[in-house]
Structure 1
């Protein structure tokens, strides 16, 4: 029996797997797997860094505008093409006693800080688009005529530019004429999708969405 036991030990000894050899073979595969799931700390750090995008070149122009509205329209169109919304930050009108010129200060919609509600009992989402964006433009009326010219005060944006602005509450506001068209078509029981098509036919640059048509009916 003792000899049989010795023989069985020798037999199983030859069948025992070589675990060291198996781990050696699997090591490169495990390393490959873990390389795929390891966090990319460099990329994470890059995302944490503040964003600074300079659009001074696209807003710099030597054009003279016949009216204030033409200047404002041009600035907003350029902003929309580059993924930002240009808003009026301040407007000043020169008077006979004042030495200041009539001017228009434009900025990014993300300028300034979020203002908390005065009533503490009212709850509101803490998310805000305001991030103190420093972007500023100044439109000034010529002292020798009615023309306006544009100057870039600061072309920097401290946020990512929007990839699309379709449905934006500010850019997609309906004009009074569009509201009249929508009202007339609604009275005639025209479907919202057909109303939207009509609005876009009249204004090829329209960013209005079907949701806004439903809300305005």
Structure 2
């Protein structure tokens, strides 16, 4: 993986890390492999196109993978003004069944990214998730009335590589409250707690 260019135009070449002669049994196996390689190199892989052979001319089995920063942000779809992570990244991998039937082969179509790669996955929707142990720890500390910021510090003490932030802790606490409340409204739940 190499970074090319000056500070005004960052190009990161990941062709070498995604180039393989390995054959895969299924498209899901290709996706799993690509995401694992992407995780190791701070590239979030998404499916940009998936086709199945169905007898229609031009339709063959294939899987096209790209970077999550590929494509252009469509501001007409959003009613709010937000920053977009999309920057039309040209990175593309294509997977298709080999002609000899030995499995799916992977080909790097364009291995260069037009953006820098993150140092970590802080705040990334797919990567920044609580593990089973972290979920349990958040539940335990929440029951003990520990503040979210202290829960985050505790989780980072246990695992310095963790990308957990206060937002994830707040979400988990909110989900716990919804599960505890069940089908009751907030007011009904409050009245039930007062009765108890």
TM-score normalised by the shorter chain: which range applies?
0.5 to 0.7
Q: 2:43 aligns with which of 84, 87, 90?
A: 84
Structure 1 counterpart SS, 2:65: strand
The residue correspondences of 1:6-21 to structure 2 (distance < 5 A) are none
TM-score by length of structure 2 reads: 0.64
As a proportion of its length, which structure holds more helix?
A: 1
Partner of 2:81: 124
Matched, 1:94 2:50: no
1:134 corresponding residue in structure 2:
90
Instruction: Determine which of 152, 156, 159 is the counterpart of 2:115.
Output: 159
Equivalent positions of 1:2-151 (< 5 A) are: 46-48=6-8, 50-118=9-77, 122-125=79-82, 127-145=83-101, 147-151=103-107
Normalised to the residue count of structure 1, the TM-score between the two structures is 0.59
1:76–1:85 Cα contact (<8 Å) kept? yes
Aligned residue pairs, count: 159
User: Within 2, Cα distance between the matches of 1:207 and 1:150?
Assistant: 30
Q: Deviations over 1:68-120 (max 9, x none)?
A: 1121111112112212211111111111344542111111111111111347x
Asked whether the equivalents of residues 101 and 141 of structure 1 are also in contact (C-alpha less than 8 Å), the reply is no
CA-atom RMSD, angstroms?
Answer: 3.5
Q: Does 1:172 align with 2:128?
A: yes
The higher radius of gyration belongs to: 1
Structure 1 segments, 4+ long, off by >3 Å, are: 97-100, 142-146, 172-175, 185-194, 205-211
